[in-house]
Structure 1
């Protein structure tokens, strides 16, 4: 595939800045033998939310990437060179931030990109990375559309397809005793894909979807949608949204369809701390799902990177994406993006089991030709389509202070 001339692309993206983190040890008499050296090493870009409707996901994702970078460089880097990370903002689907961000990273010679968080935002630049033959790993994309995307050869993700989240959520709603649901889903690849998965699984499990609407996430108010839910005869409502829940929730409550009147079920796009948004008790009893195993094994390490973290959603997945890129480069003895792509499946399947970058990199250094990386987000085995083939979905419930706690974890294979 032909690549755009990088010099021309750099001119086209002049003025777009990136924040670069390079955690390397200086080469001085006190350096350890494992110190990496700055130079022509692996360069990873991120396109993750600093602004927009998913900005609440940004801090744990950045922390996951930065933690992995720190660990990699403290262990000697990749092929002796320090790993450099360049952070860019993704914005959200309503903004034109992600595409220029991709241009900026391409012009700076990255071999891999981590992002975006939003499925719709990833679709804004996936073709650019494909044309440039640059690996992309999303820690949070869940739209099923990526599995069959025609130009997805360089695309991978450490979060599972919503085929799985929809199944687990539908099963939980049935287990909680609900028989009729309404679905409110935002109009984008994530919203429609997850809505379809919930609907299909809920009906297969014996339930009935009595109302479904795909709404405009930029709408100023949601009275019509809330009224329709209240009049639908549903005994639970599935809300597939981003931060527009702060408007959707009150609209539902005003129509007599509050979290206490109906069963409210949220998803990874809106499962957040609402203690500063609503009066005490507003969210109490609502339940929700998001992909990911218990973050406890990596929680303290993420807090060392960002002590202000209160939410860890997709932090482990971001760490795993970064670690896997580095391990694939080591396994292929090259930081070339095509070599990384060709080795990602190999380092994640079969072979000797290992957890985290340091343990797995030591196996490679000791001559182990085949490793099987298990991550902090759970076992990761990439399919030929770049999907994880099994994953854990957490079930959460809101407390009176409008924060949530875990009530269960559900591990399943995608099939």
Structure 2
């Protein structure tokens, strides 16, 4: 089971974990990771970037993702690297902020000259970064940006094939959350979402799916979408919990979402109402921020949520490796980050070139082609070197990337226990 991340001294924890990992694995050396090549991913070996949040609204989950990225690279470097040379890396903190993410992506593509970027997490950050990646012909694979907007843009050809993701889009997760609400018998629902691509896209699909299941969306004509930069969220909380819903589907980020839930609780609006949550707050850091009642019970006790599951055949082996190499519990989107990174390297090896265009040309072939199914990164790259086709089966699932850059996944159902811990209790499949 993937456990939620417990946030303790975020920056120090990240720094210590990266230092420990670099010392225990065969690595390229940090100085080499910052050298520039004359062309993105040119003749100096494959260079990959990571654009992930170690600060900001998603940092509680995001801290472990750069470590997973580095683990994948060090694993492949330990078995010979890519195209005969070690893979080098550059890691940037996008701060869970579109402007900061765009600046970091510009650095990665135009200064560091990477061939591929693993990231971002927030859909809003990925939206800001993708045009920069496309302009510079850099492949971008997100382990966690789930907005349906990306599917629509890919269908229109906006990304020219330079985009993919290893987490399924919220087209599926929103349907899964609606299926969960239906399974629990909730027929009077309300919604409240963060006002960005992730929140609004999720809301639209959730409402459609819930109505197909016979539910009534009480605030459909006046949807509640909160500004993550707002000073208070009392009004939004009141609007979301009005009209006595059975449940409120809340699409939130941890820091700002905790403020909204606290506001609803303080107004006495949460009694008898089940919160339906998503992957963005699948972390005990969020539960801690929301707090406890006077009796010491978590305010979120009984809340239900969905999160993309990681149930591929490689998960058990990867979980053991993660624990041995990092000493940390595996958290949400760690397998998805590892798989995104491995796919980049396999595609470059298959293309026999270290450019973004080369990765793009082979990414679907190594992820979903007719080749030999293989889950070990070193075994996969050895097969490719021997001239054989592979179909990588990831720790996060089969990672069968389609023409829009999407994968379809299963979903775990989680709940908040009275003591504030999180527990996986079920699985749910989105309806077609």
Q: Is 1:169 the counterpart of 2:177 in the alignment?
A: yes
Q: Any residues of structure 2 matched to 1:244-323 within 5 Å, and which? A: 244-258=256-270, 261-273=272-284, 274=286, 276-277=288-289, 278-279=291-292, 280-294=297-311, 296-307=316-327, 309-310=328-329, 312-323=331-342
For the residues of structure 2 that align with 1:356 and 1:100, how far apart are their CA atoms? 35
Task: Return 403-412 or 169-178, whichever deviates more.
Answer: 403-412
Matching residue of 1:30: none
Whose helix proportion is higher, 1 or 2?
2
User: Is contact 2:319-2:330 (8 Å) kept?
Assistant: no
Q: Which residue of 1 aligns with 2:159?
A: 152
C-alpha displacement of 1:92: 1.9
Asked whether the equivalents of residues 116 and 356 of structure 2 are also in contact (C-alpha less than 8 Å), the reply is yes
Match of 2:140 among 136, 143, 154: 136
- Equivalent position of 1:331 in the other structure: 350
Structure 1 residue 158 displacement after superposition = 0.6
Secondary structure in structure 1 of the residue aligned to 2:86: coil
CA distance in 1, matches of 2:115, 2:243: 51
Unaligned runs of 5+ in 1: 1-18, 27-38
Structure 1 residues 159 and 25, CA gap change in structure 2 (3 angstroms): closer
Match of 1:103 in 2: 106
Output the CA distance in 1 between the equivalents of 2:115 and 2:299: 46
TM-score (ref. length: structure 1): 0.86
The 2-side partners of 1:376 and 1:266 are apart by 24
Match of 2:77 in 1: 73
Q: Compared with structure 1, are the counterparts of its residues 25 and 170 closer, same or farther at alpha carbon in structure 2 (3 Å cutoff)?
A: closer
Distance 2:104 2:262 in 1: 35
2-side partners of 1:378 and 1:225: how far apart? 37
Q: Does the C-alpha gap of structure 1 residues 304 and 97 become closer, same or farther in structure 2, counting only changes over 3 Å? A: farther
- 1:343 aligns with 362
Q: Distance in 1 between matches of 2:28 and 2:356?
A: 25
**Mean alpha-carbon deviation: is it higher for 120-129 or for 276-285?**
276-285
- Residues 175 and 430 in structure 2, CA contact (< 8 A), matched pair in contact too: no
Of residues 399, 418, 422 in structure 2, which corresponds to 1:400?
418
2:382 to 349, 353, 362: 362
1:272 to partner: Cα distance = 1.4
| Pairing 1:5-154 to 2, within 5 Å after superposition | 23-24=26-27, 40-93=44-97, 96-106=99-109, 107-149=111-153, 150-153=157-160, 154=162
In the alignment of these two chains, the number of paired residues is 379
Offset, 1:314: 0.6
What is the Cα-based RMSD across aligned positions, in Å?
2.2
Unaligned segments of structure 2, at least 5 residues:
1-18, 30-42
- TM-score (norm. length: structure 2): 0.83
CA distance in 2, matches of 1:355, 1:302: 15
Give the conservation status (yes or no) of the 8 Å contact 2:194–2:226.
Answer: yes
Deviation >6 Å, runs of 4+: none
